Structure 1
Amino acid sequence: MQTQSRNSLNIKVTPFKQKLSDTLTKQGISILQINLGKRCNLACTHCHVEAGPKRTEELSPEICEQLIELIYKFPEIKIVDLTGGAPEMNYGFKPLVEAARKTGKQVIVRSNLTIYFEDGFADLPEYFAKHKLRIVASLPCYLADNVDKMRGTGVFDNSIKALQWLNRLGYGKKPDLILDLVYNPLLPTSEKFSLAPEQTNLEKDYKVFLQEHFEIVFNNLFTITNLPVGRTKMHLERKKLYSSYLQFLELHFNPSTVEHLMCRDQLSIDYLGNVYDCDFNQMMNLPAKTRNGETLTVTKLLEAGSLDLISEIQTAAYCYGCTAGCGSSCSGALV
């Protein structure tokens, strides 16, 4: 009853901007993160994209062609980061991979691993190896029960089989076949909130467990905070924990994370060709703005012949998730 009464109050959270000592601005853009759509073979409980098997939104041929033009036009883009949904299921995945590789860019595919066992996708591991894609794979825990609670029954077993398959191809072993894993905490069911464990130590635990039990090797573990966006936000609201979770994140704000935030050197593009500062802003429909206050699209970037049109990064309360403790980004801890 005490938790209920606390959460019925309007808990105040300081506007994120007020925590900053200076305006949050872009550095030089080197990463293009593209969300190809919401189609996915899974419907994970923590998914901030709210992706799933029943979603149909995906990249169009027209936007795909614009993105390929963008990849060719701007050599300062060093990394093309493909996400979804399951990016492999959505239109344009392979054309974008091949355009990026032809121009010498690193390609990251954010894979749920289980997609390889769906009809029509069994060629993916070999395709990834052929094009030397860096795989960032979700494995939110090394214990089966925790993974299946978050991602669905049987997901852990298929994930293990997929990782063994990738190892056989040289992933995690050869220097040009990088295999990274992602840890997400379980969603909270009470106000006993916690941040992700220290990344380096947890990585050691993952490596020992997966090697001893499954003979699996991988390169890096990324710990990512569950931001109160998408299904995570819905879960927190159902449990009457949303406001208190935001307050918890604010209390753990770490100013040393700010200079390393992923929004500073990347553009996030949705399947409609709209531009955002990060994937979380994309899901909350908070578009990037030009110096004149106009919303940005891929078309405008191409017309301007520049990626540097954003004067100030758009922020919201959920930005506390990226700046709490050791910080959180698409590449794990920030400090």
Structure 2
Amino acid sequence: MIQTAFTPFQTKLGTTLTKKKITVLQINLGKRCNLACSHCHVEASPKRTEELTAEICEQLIELINRFPQIETIDLTGGAPEMNYGFKQLVEAARAKNKEVIVRSNLTIYFVPGFEDIPEYCVENQLRITASLPCYLEDNVDKMRGNGVYNESIRALQWLNRLGYGKNQNLRIDLVYNPPIPNRDKFGLPPNQKNLEQDYKNYLKEHFNVEFNQLFTITNLPIGRTKLFLENRKIYQPYLEFLESNFNRETVENLMCRNELSIDYLGNVYDCDFNQMENIPAKTRKGEKITVAKLLEANSLDIIEQVQTENYCYGCTAGCGSSCGGSLV
């Protein structure tokens, strides 16, 4: 069997990937979720119980209060709305006039006890980034579970009635993920602008749904996607495919460079993907970083070098991929 040459990501990069000034805190509030999506790199589900503690929540609020350089608080999960600390962090951030993004699965609005979330988002002018991996029902339900598409459409209609997608202070963005790759068909997300228009046309025509932007995100080979690929013995070929599409122009805008990713235990990572693979951010001396250490140092900028792995090819392939979609 002929072995395909594979270049480690750090070798391909040819230089150290350095941190810029930190302006974004992305906080994973826990793994509790009402869904168990097949592509979820967090491996969240209704059976997971891990979530933020009161102690770590207070430390995070102190970060928000202490550092004016923070522009955005990005709340994720699991379903962030289900996990401890969601409203406390929202209100602390909005009191300091920070942008707050909540990464929602939309279906949470129909879970008993969370029906107030859409109105709460309006009151606090939260920017909602919602997963809708396709504008067609069958594709969404295959990835996320039966009935998820219809609930997502109902949620979007609800948000539209409240002003989301129409009022400039109420932004709702959607996220596209390609189907999990199989042996016969590896692919990158299509052109983001063109696909956004397809989404807008279809959702408007069929459901009278409006939204602001579409973000296209590449499937990184971690979490459930990695398990899927390994079970089919195509993990290495998929990495090779991503490497073959490496685009150096994406490197300048990589999200890991100006953000800190923080887990529910208060550990700090360069990005959400490193968090899921348990690769912590480190100081110049090689020490692991926690929220407590940031407070002790009285600085968010104590990381010099971003920790990279071969799955970083997923963020640098084609037009690039980040939590805010394409990079170039």
Distance 1:11 1:36, change over 3 A: farther
8 Å Cα contact 1:34-1:268 kept in structure 2 = yes
CA RMSD of aligned residues (A): 0.9
Give the conservation status (yes or no) of the 8 Å contact 1:277–1:314: yes
Match of 2:213 in 1: 220
Q: Please say if 1:17 is aligned against 2:10.
A: yes
Instruction: Return the letter of the residue paired with 1:142.
Output: Y
Q: Map Cα deviations across residues 267-304 of structure 1 (whole Å, 9 max, x no partner).
A: 00000000000000000000001000000000000000
Runs of 4+ with >2 A deviation: 9-13
Match for residue 143 of structure 2?
Answer: 150
- Counterpart of 1:193 in structure 2: which amino acid? F
| C-alpha deviation, 1:189, in angstroms | 2.2
Distance 1:20 1:234 in 2: 26
Query: What SS does the corresponding residue of 1:185 show, helix, strand or coil?
Result: coil
User: How far is the alpha carbon of 1:127 from its aligned partner?
Assistant: 0.1
DSSP-derived class of the 2:78 partner: coil
Residue 248 of structure 1 corresponds to 241
The CA distance in 2 between the partners of 1:132 and 1:88, in whole Å, is: 15
Q: What is the TM-score of this pair, normalised by structure 1?
A: 0.97
Q: Which residue is equivalent to 1:76? A: 69
Instruction: Compute the TM-score of the two structures, normalised by the length of structure 2.
Output: 0.99
Q: Secondary structure of the residue that 1:110 maps to in structure 2?
A: strand
Tell me if structure 2 keeps the 8 A contact 1:254–1:327: yes
3-state secondary structure, aligned to 1:95: helix
Q: Distance in 1 between matches of 2:5 and 2:228?
A: 20
Q: CA deviation at 1:23?
A: 1.1
Code of the residue aligned with 2:64 in structure 1: it is I
Match of 2:118 in 1: 125
User: Secondary structure at the residue paired with 1:182?
Assistant: strand
Conserved 8 A contact 1:254-1:324: yes
Unaligned runs of 5+ in 1: 1-5
Report the number of matched residues.
328
8 Å Cα contact 1:178/1:219 also seen in 2: yes
Task: Report the identity percentage.
Answer: 70
1:46 alignment partner, one of 25, 30, 39:
39
Q: How does 1:1-335 map to 2 (within 5 A)?
A: 11-335=4-328
The residue type paired with residue 264 of structure 2 is Y
Q: Deviations over 1:81-119 (max 9, x none)?
A: 000000000000000000000001000000000000001
Q: Distance in 1 between matches of 2:236 and 2:156?
A: 38
**Alignment partners' CA distance in 1, 2:5 and 2:160:** 48
The equivalent of 1:3 in structure 2 is none
> C-alpha distance in 2, partners of 1:162/1:235?
30
CA distance in structure 2 between the partners assigned to 1:180 and 1:192 by the alignment: 28
Contact 1:10 1:243 (8 Å CA) reproduced: no
Offset of residue 19 of structure 1: 1.4
Residue type at the aligned position of 1:138: S
Query: In the aligned structure 1, how far is the partner of 2:104 from the partner of 2:3?
Result: 38
* 1:33 alignment partner, SS class: strand
| One-letter amino acid of the counterpart of residue 286, structure 2 | G
Structure 2, unpaired ranges of 5+: none
Name the CA distance, whole Å, in 2 between partners of 1:11 and 1:45.
Answer: 29
* Structure 2 counterpart of 1:278, one-letter code: C
Q: Give the deviation of 1:181 after TM superposition.
A: 0.1
How much does 1:13 deviate? 2.5
CA distance in 2, matches of 1:233, 1:248: 14
Partners of 1:122 and 1:226 lie apart in 2 by 31
Partners of 1:191 and 1:204 lie apart in 2 by 28
Measured after TM superposition, the shift of residue 17 of structure 1 is: 0.9
